[in-house]
Structure 1
Amino acid sequence: MRPASDSAPTPWATGLTLTAFSLAATVVAVVAFGQVLARIHPILAIAVNLVAAAGSVPTLWAWIRVPVLRWFAAGVAAGIPIGWLVLLVS
């Protein structure tokens, strides 16, 4: 592990842009799949959303340790509950 003084500066602009993009894509995906599945059966939509969210946790946890992927993981982790809230409202 490198000391903090040797670290490169944090690319906030690029990172936050990637986070915003991954958040928006995740919200759109969760809402789109949730609405389609809710037309079939509401319990199916709930079950698939919970299984998909639980299945993404190990991948997101591994991505937190990779400097570039941690921004993407933050957007996905925030996008899932926001997508659920949008589904509840719609």
Structure 2
Amino acid sequence: MELRVRDGRAVLAGEDESGEREVDPHSLPLGADLAEALHEWAKVADAVVRTETPADGVANALVARRGKQLAGRIAAVMNSPVLYTDPVSGELVSVEAPDSPAVAGPEPAELVGEEEVAEPTPWGTGLTVSFITASIVTVTVVSLSLGLGETSRWLALVANVLVVGGLAPSVWLGRKVPVWRWVAYGVVAGVLVAWLALILTLLQA
């Protein structure tokens, strides 16, 4: 069985009497939570590929890591190895089933990147990272918008849309990953503050 991304949807490919077939995860006994998680990952992976982010980008690494985690969950449920095709690099990896088969159900915290309940949340360090990230994003977006706005306001608007569109996949994947989630929060806050500042600037003009 092989996990792939096809047109923004997760599919599982396998061989039968008629040859190779690709099926929707919902058609297999994987559990609704796992099937939905697969499709959510596939949508983000497809967006990352379409934006043509650099091969060493954060979004690419998160897509690959999340895909391997989901392939591991499938292997655990099916109790058999699963091949995983990285939608960004095209690399084919075999993910083995764990020693004890897992039961399909709610996604474990360690697989979605959340910290365990017993581990305290590093609010001080995390908020500091978010603040620094938000400051950098705010200054960057405002400077870019004001610079382009002197030429054309429409050009500035298009630039903002492209910047946010490029950041969206990384932010969406990073929202549940320890450490990177604080960066994601900072990016969102920075973009919102920058847009608010631009709106106030336009109203005073």
TM-score normalized with structure 2 length: 0.41
Residue deviations 1:46-89 (CA, integer Å, cap 9, x gap): 01101211221111111112100000100101111210111122
Residue 30 of structure 1: which of 141, 152, 157 is its match? 141
Structure 2: runs of 5+ lacking an equivalent: 1-107, 111-115
> Which residue of structure 1 lines up, in the alignment, with residue 69 of structure 2?
none
Residue 41 of structure 1: which of 124, 130, 152 is its match? 152
Where in structure 1 do 4 or more consecutive aligned residues deviate above 6 Å? none
* SS of equivalent to 2:154: helix
> Which residue of structure 1 lines up, in the alignment, with residue 125 of structure 2?
14
Give the structure with the larger helix fraction. 1
> Which residue of structure 2 lines up, in the alignment, with residue 73 of structure 1?
184
Residue deviations 1:14-54 (CA, integer Å, cap 9, x gap): 00111111111111111000000101111000011012112
Identity, in percent, stands at: 35
Pick 1 or 2: higher relative contact order, CA cutoff 8 A, min separation 6.
Answer: 1
Aligned residues: 89
Structure 1: runs of 5+ lacking an equivalent: none
* Separation in structure 2 between the aligned mates of residue 12 and residue 2 of structure 1, nearest angstrom: 19
Give the structure with the larger strand fraction. 2
